[in-house]
Amino acid sequence: MSKTSIAVLGGLLLALTTQVQAAAVDDLQAQLRAQGAGPFSAAAGDTLWHSKSIHAGEARSCASCHGADLTKGGRHVTTGKSIEPMAPSVNPQRLSDVAKMQKWLKRNCHWTFGRQCTAQEQGDILAYLRTL
């Protein structure tokens, strides 16, 4: 296979992955809008992502585990477990499955903020993450 063919194939694969991510985020945001949320704001999601909350006696933010640079991996501060990069631009698996997004938003909002994130907050976080 020629270098040109490989480049074209790689470009098509990237385009398909981007479409799958966009469709999954669009689907979940449509569900959140049906709950009365929206319009969603990447700037509000960025603010929420970096905001600190006192939970279980310690200051936490999403960046506590995921790190400041979402194109790089993180580490869970309690378990030490490695976390793959959040940026869909470097981790095509991110934002590609509605059920996984719902699961991790529920789990991580509870761990970080000590509560379920609102539909608006979830949509804003997704809007922020999809810009990365």
First and final CA of the chain: distance in angstroms?
32
Each residue's pLDDT tens digit, 104-114: 999 999 999 99
> What is the per-residue pLDDT across 60-111, written as a single tens digit (0 to 9) for each?
999 999 998 999 999 999 899 999 999 999 998 899 999 999 999 999 999 9
H helix and E strand count, the chain = 5, 4
Q: What is the pLDDT of residues 9-25, one digit of tens each?
A: 444 444 434 444 468 99
pLDDT at 7: 47
Query: What DSSP character marks residue 118?
Result: P
Give the per-residue SS3 of 13-31: HHHHHHHHHHHHHHHHHHH
Range of the domain at 106: 3-129
**pLDDT value for 62:** 95
Number of domains in the chain: 1
Question: What letter does residue 90 receive in the DSSP assignment?
Answer: T
**Which pLDDT value is given to residue 56?**
79
Q: Measured between alpha carbons, how far is 43 from 49 in angstroms, rounded to an integer?
A: 10
Side chain identity at residue 91, one-letter code = N
| Domain CATH for 55 | 1.10.760.10
- Which pair of structure tokens corresponds to residue 98? 């509605």
